[in-house]
Structure 1
Amino acid sequence: MKLIYGTLFFLSLFSASAQINIMHFAEAAKKGFTYRKLDSLYRGQRLFYEGTREEYVKEENALLRRKSQIARKIFGIRTDPAAITYHLYTGKTGKFEYLLYEIRGRISPQSEKELIDSLRILLDNYRFGVKIVSSHVSSHFLNLGLIRTIPKGDSVISSLEAALSTTRPDTVKILALNQLELTKVPDVIYRFSNMKELNLSFNELKNVSIDITRLPKLQQIWLNSNQLTDGKLQLPKNKTLRILNIQGNQFTNIPAAVKNCRRLKSLWMGYNNLTALNNRSFTKMRRLQDINLYSCGLKSIPKGIVKMRRLEVLDVYYNELSTLPSSLSRMRKLQQLALSHNQLTQLPNNLGKLKNLQTLYMHHNRLAQLPNSIGKLKSLQILDIGYNQFSTLPNQIAYLQRVEEIDMSYNNLSEVPAPIPHLRQLKKVYLRENPVAQDLQLRERSKSIVQVLEGNDIQVSY
């Protein structure tokens, strides 16, 4: 109790100051003022802001961009990576009160001081656009300077200077202008008529118009992590583009420009807030084979998704899905279905119609049963149902004759499901953190099944 009162008194002394208190983890620990103590005091049980999640995320991303700009300005482009890990503590008024940090990598004391002083000025003067109603703590990782990821080779150009000065633009296959803080698409891109890949990711682009007809061999465009919004992506009708990455922007729907890419195979739209997605969103995309809707705030999948009849990969990780449309079963070419980290409580009864499905990821949901049609997935090789609420599995599991790996970790299984030994191609079984894995008596009841599995050289992991 004395320790708690002492800590609270310590906090009150710091809170009396108008400025944020910034300390290295080691410095704070020497004072008996660790980040763990702060975390326990600032980590509340209720939501700490008023308004929508989208409003807060937009506000948080804006602040993160400001901090990234500061780091880039101080450290520039680096060949040796360095980063700052920090815990940021916000009071009930929305004012930042403490920042505890640690530097990873080598930087000079002068650069560290300049960084901390700049962050102090930014955070002392920052005001949230949403109302803060409770104190809270958040953890962050920020690269110090720009560590660019660019391909290597004679056919690659990775700077505007080189793009303007080269005397052999016809030899360039990849133009990598990523992470250059560009605010518009440079006209120099049209020098490279043989270019196959254009990378404009991690810039500051708010409006993009690319005349693909002037780039007849262009197959890939990377525009991820910019600031594009609905209507701000312009691409003319073309039959050349195969891959389009527009993740991490501010789209609410699939852009109309995507429909102009008649032979597009892969579309990556993760980390957009797709609140306007509807049945019509998937029209004119029949050739698409791979779509990524990772962390897009989806509460449902429109049944119109079935219009993408050639789709082979559907990734909807980290959304808020509680059900799936039954029309999903009509996507007969689907090979990989990634449904993990959602709120699913049931699966469509006709799931077994996906005859070509090879991998099914469903971990981190709220599932307690599988449909009986699961046994009709004759091509299935990997089944991951970990972190759910299964206490039994249907006998139809025994018909999955091509399954090589089943992960049932973190469920409520009190015995190894009886159908498991009947899987002829099985190589790995994961049972971690189930009652059967933790209770010796329960494990003894399944001993004969485990012996059969191990006798067939199947790896069983508890």
Structure 2
Amino acid sequence: MKILSALPLLLILSSASAQVIIMPFAEAAKQGMTYKKLDSLYRGTRPFHSGTQEEYVKEENALLRRKTQIARKIFGIRTAPAAIMYHLYTNKTGRFDYLLYEIRGQISPESEKALVDSLRHLLNAYRFGVKITSAHVSSHFMNLGLIRSIPKGDSIISSLEAAQSTTRPDTVKVLALNQLELTQVPDVMYRFPNLKELNLSGNELKIAHIAVNRLPKLRQIWLNNNQLTDSSLHLTQNKTLQILNIQGNRFTDIPQAVKNCRRLKSLWMGYNNLTALNQKSFRKLRRLQDINLYSCGLKTLPKDIVKLRRLEVLDVYYNDLSTIPPSVSRMRRLQQLALSHNQLTLLPDNLGKLRHLQALYLHHNRLNRLPGSIGKLTSLQILDIGYNQFSTLPAQIGSLHRMEEMDMSYNNLSEVPPPLPYLRQLKKLYLRENPVAQDAQLREHSKAIVQILEAKNIQVSY
């Protein structure tokens, strides 16, 4: 077993021949290897590889596909969903040191052992095609087996056979042809004049031509988790489509096909490597209300994104953003801003102009202060600043009178912030893994504030 407590990183990572250690988070924590501790040791520098980001993402996706194949072989098609969430720690030689995991859902001990043994064999033998130059940690979530989600109802068809044989195509509103290993878009969809939702997710599509104008009532298209590229998606010009999910493909920019959907409200493009995203990418998308750019390798937000004045939800989880442009304050209709798992060290001073903001997610960044203008976010109900470097919070947070839930876990707070009793709607407060939560003497200094909070039936979690 590798000893972490006192050894410098150089010693921890020195053994190039060591075998990967795989264990559940809970077991690792009992041995003093919390993932917070490991994350700090393996944070490393950026970039942590030679070659381009595109080359590394290609290699990482190849490894993920190998792991997914292993999971499907072991678990097959499941009726009850199960997944594994894990952190993978890679040393500067490119070898894997640790995989800490948590299983979500029910699986047998035998299946878990088979999965762990298979992953150990894969990781011990695997070598990246690009050179790793620094230790790093990556986080992943993977389904165990194949769960085919099929909606139920009289107006739903979920197989090609049924789509071809139905004698009442006018009654069909949802065509769910997901996870059928399709390699081309089936023309049978044009049989259904009242179709509202087309689901082709989780197939093997490399090209998708959809004449949306032939389906006048179509409102939603799901093409996520295929193999589409910028030039292989084709949607005819239309004013009907409202929701488009193209996550988990091979896009590097927002394809022209998306801009043909003049009244699109929701665009989900997460898990694409959007290296070509630029100032012109969001043109003709002014009606968007919800955009998801989850885990897209973004280092900056294009300035033009602020022209999406109708945007209500902006989700950029798991990117490499170090700053947020002050112009984001122009997006006055924003209700949810999700900036977690980035590299942010500072927030714009004019953040308070987002008066309609209801949820602000900032956890897992490098922040140590909030702007004073945060007190002007009078609609804010959820604030999550966990896993940052806060030692104090501004007095202005006492003005957040609609606040219902605050998470300040894993910071450097030595006291419970004095303004909290002024939050009239507060229901839940999380202070886990702060000095004030771990040190009895510090807790005593904040005892009066905690008593006030608890007297108001506020749930305080240490």
User: Scaled by the length of structure 1, what TM-score is found?
Assistant: 0.79
How far did 1:268 drift?
0.5
* 1:328 alignment partner, SS class: helix
Tell me how far apart the structure 2 counterparts of residues 392 and 94 of structure 1 sit (CA, whole Å).
Answer: 39
Equivalent residue for 1:56?
56
How far did 1:59 drift?
2.7
Aligned residues with identical type, % of pairs: 76
Tell me how far apart the structure 2 counterparts of residues 290 and 45 of structure 1 sit (CA, whole Å).
Answer: 32
Deviating more after overlay: 426-435 vs 133-142: 133-142
1:427 equivalenced with 2:427 (yes/no):
yes
Equivalent residue for 1:283?
283
CA contact (8 A) 1:403 1:425 kept: yes
What aligned pairs does 1:295-314 form with structure 2 within 5 A after superposition?
295-314=295-314
CA contact (8 A) 1:369 1:390 kept: yes
CA contact (8 A) 2:173 2:197 kept: yes
How far did 1:133 drift?
8.2
Task: Write the letter of the residue equivalent to 1:457.
Answer: N
Task: Write the letter of the residue equivalent to 1:454.
Answer: E
Deviating more after overlay: 210-219 vs 145-154: 145-154
CA contact (8 A) 2:408 2:432 kept: yes
Tell me how far apart the structure 1 counterparts of residues 406 and 85 of structure 2 sit (CA, whole Å).
Answer: 36
Q: Residues 386 and 290 (structure 1 numbering): CA distance in 2 closer, same or farther, change over 3 Å?
A: same
What aligned pairs does 1:321-332 form with structure 2 within 5 A after superposition?
321-332=321-332
Tell me how far apart the structure 1 counterparts of residues 365 and 72 of structure 2 sit (CA, whole Å).
Answer: 39
CA contact (8 A) 1:334 1:356 kept: yes
CA deviations 1:21-75 (Å, max 9, x no partner) are 9xx99xxxxxxxxxx9xxx9xx999899643343233134235446756876898
Tell me how far apart the structure 1 counterparts of residues 76 and 398 of structure 2 sit (CA, whole Å).
Answer: 58
What aligned pairs does 1:98-177 form with structure 2 within 5 A after superposition?
129-130=129-130, 146-177=146-177
Tell me how far apart the structure 2 counterparts of residues 146 and 317 of structure 1 sit (CA, whole Å).
Answer: 25
Q: Residues 248 and 142 (structure 1 numbering): CA distance in 2 closer, same or farther, change over 3 Å?
A: closer
CA contact (8 A) 1:285 1:307 kept: no
Equivalent residue for 1:237?
237
CA contact (8 A) 2:432 2:461 kept: yes
Tell me how far apart the structure 2 counterparts of residues 330 and 137 of structure 1 sit (CA, whole Å).
Answer: 35
* 1:448 alignment partner, SS class: helix
CA deviations 1:153-211 (Å, max 9, x no partner) are 12111111111111111111111111111111111111111111111111111111100
CA deviations 1:295-340 (Å, max 9, x no partner) are 1111111121111000000111111111101110011100111111
Tell me how far apart the structure 1 counterparts of residues 309 and 87 of structure 2 sit (CA, whole Å).
Answer: 46
Equivalent residue for 1:212?
212
Tell me how far apart the structure 2 counterparts of residues 91 and 412 of structure 1 sit (CA, whole Å).
Answer: 28
Equivalent residue for 1:438?
438
* 1:337 alignment partner, SS class: strand
Task: Write the letter of the residue equivalent to 2:349.
Answer: N
Task: Write the letter of the residue equivalent to 2:277.
Answer: L
CA deviations 1:203-246 (Å, max 9, x no partner) are 11111110001111111000111111111111111111111000
CA deviations 1:372-427 (Å, max 9, x no partner) are 11111111111111111111111111111111121111111111112111122222
CA contact (8 A) 1:82 1:107 kept: no
Q: Residues 346 and 108 (structure 1 numbering): CA distance in 2 closer, same or farther, change over 3 Å?
A: closer
Give the gaps of 5 or more residues in structure 2: 2-16, 24-32
* 1:366 alignment partner, SS class: coil
CA deviations 1:99-150 (Å, max 9, x no partner) are 9xxx9858999xx9xx98xx99x99999864457899999998767643111
Task: Write the letter of the residue equivalent to 1:227.
Answer: Q
How far did 1:288 drift?
0.7
Tell me how far apart the structure 2 counterparts of residues 349 and 92 of structure 1 sit (CA, whole Å).
Answer: 38
Tell me how far apart the structure 2 counterparts of residues 297 and 137 of structure 1 sit (CA, whole Å).
Answer: 15
Equivalent residue for 1:261?
261
Task: Write the letter of the residue equivalent to 1:270.
Answer: G
1:397 equivalenced with 2:429 (yes/no):
no
* 2:406 alignment partner, SS class: strand
Equivalent residue for 1:371?
371
* 1:258 alignment partner, SS class: helix
Q: Which runs of 4+ in 1 moved over 3 A?
A: 43-50, 62-96, 103-109, 122-146
Q: Residues 313 and 447 (structure 1 numbering): CA distance in 2 closer, same or farther, change over 3 Å?
A: same
Tell me how far apart the structure 2 counterparts of residues 401 and 134 of structure 1 sit (CA, whole Å).
Answer: 45
How far did 1:247 drift?
0.5
* 2:349 alignment partner, SS class: coil
Deviating more after overlay: 377-386 vs 451-460: 451-460
Q: Residues 433 and 127 (structure 1 numbering): CA distance in 2 closer, same or farther, change over 3 Å?
A: closer
Q: Residues 76 and 190 (structure 1 numbering): CA distance in 2 closer, same or farther, change over 3 Å?
A: farther
* 1:209 alignment partner, SS class: strand
* 1:340 alignment partner, SS class: coil
Equivalent residue for 2:342?
342
Tell me how far apart the structure 2 counterparts of residues 86 and 364 of structure 1 sit (CA, whole Å).
Answer: 16
Equivalent residue for 1:319?
319
How far did 1:84 drift?
10
* 1:163 alignment partner, SS class: helix
Tell me how far apart the structure 2 counterparts of residues 86 and 300 of structure 1 sit (CA, whole Å).
Answer: 27
1:450 equivalenced with 2:428 (yes/no):
no
Task: Write the letter of the residue equivalent to 2:175.
Answer: L
Tell me how far apart the structure 2 counterparts of residues 61 and 45 of structure 1 sit (CA, whole Å).
Answer: 21
Equivalent residue for 1:33?
none
* 1:154 alignment partner, SS class: coil
* 2:54 alignment partner, SS class: helix
Deviating more after overlay: 396-405 vs 352-361: 396-405
RMSD: 4.2
Equivalent residue for 1:9?
none
User: Scaled by the length of structure 2, what TM-score is found?
Assistant: 0.79
Tell me how far apart the structure 2 counterparts of residues 235 and 343 of structure 1 sit (CA, whole Å).
Answer: 36
> Which one has a bigger Cα radius of gyration?
1
1:227 equivalenced with 2:227 (yes/no):
yes
Q: Size of the alignment, in residue pairs? A: 423
Deviating more after overlay: 137-146 vs 349-358: 137-146
CA contact (8 A) 1:84 1:143 kept: yes
CA contact (8 A) 1:253 1:276 kept: yes
Q: Residues 439 and 245 (structure 1 numbering): CA distance in 2 closer, same or farther, change over 3 Å?
A: same
CA contact (8 A) 1:81 1:105 kept: no
